[in-house]
Structure 1
Amino acid sequence: MEPEKRERHVGAEGCPAVAIRIPVRIVVLVLVVPVRMLWDVLVVYGKALDRALFRPPGRAVGWVHETLLAPVGRGSHGSPGRSRPCCGGCAGLSSTGRGSRCGGTWWYRS
């Protein structure tokens, strides 16, 4: 028995294909790979800067907003960390003009 001869795929193996393929490989190795490696390094440094420099001040600004500014904007209504009034729509005053049953206006009750 004679081993079967495998047919070689003779796709684009001519002289023009080789003449195009070699310069394309050179361009990829000279331009694309270094640019991609530089981009990956910049991404790593950007993530490190985000963790080390940008997040801590951002957390501090968020804390100041939630602790100091948001309660003033809500009229000291609701609990810290909530963006809505505590009872879903109380205006701080009941229909009698006195403080509502909401815990956010405890100093106004008579």
Structure 2
Amino acid sequence: MLQGVLHGEGIVQTTKGPVRVAMQRGAATNLTSTAVTVKSSDGFTRTWTLNNGVRVYDKRHTLQPGALKTGAQLSVAGTAPVSGGQPGGSPAAATFTAKWIVVQSA
């Protein structure tokens, strides 16, 4: 269903209130122990926060976030808080925490 999608975001309603969600496909351009920056083929760039809860997969195998490499093709999805229960604010300014990362290996 999402094949070909480079990046996008929306607001979903949860039992705890609205949550901003996003996904992105692209190349890892910068990696630290707490963040990964991904650049999509259309030039859109976002830095995703990494925490202990992130799940990283490669061909159905679970990896440690430290196994990610610069230049790897990734699909990333995560969440950001919605201030005051409203989705206001610039989407580009939102700080997203990665919930899962899939390495798109050949």
Q: TM-score range by the shorter chain?
A: under 0.3
Q: Which has the higher contact order (CA 8 A, sep 6+)?
A: 2
TM-score (norm 1): 0.16
TM-score (norm 2): 0.16
Greater fraction of residues in strand: 2
Greater fraction of residues in helix: 1
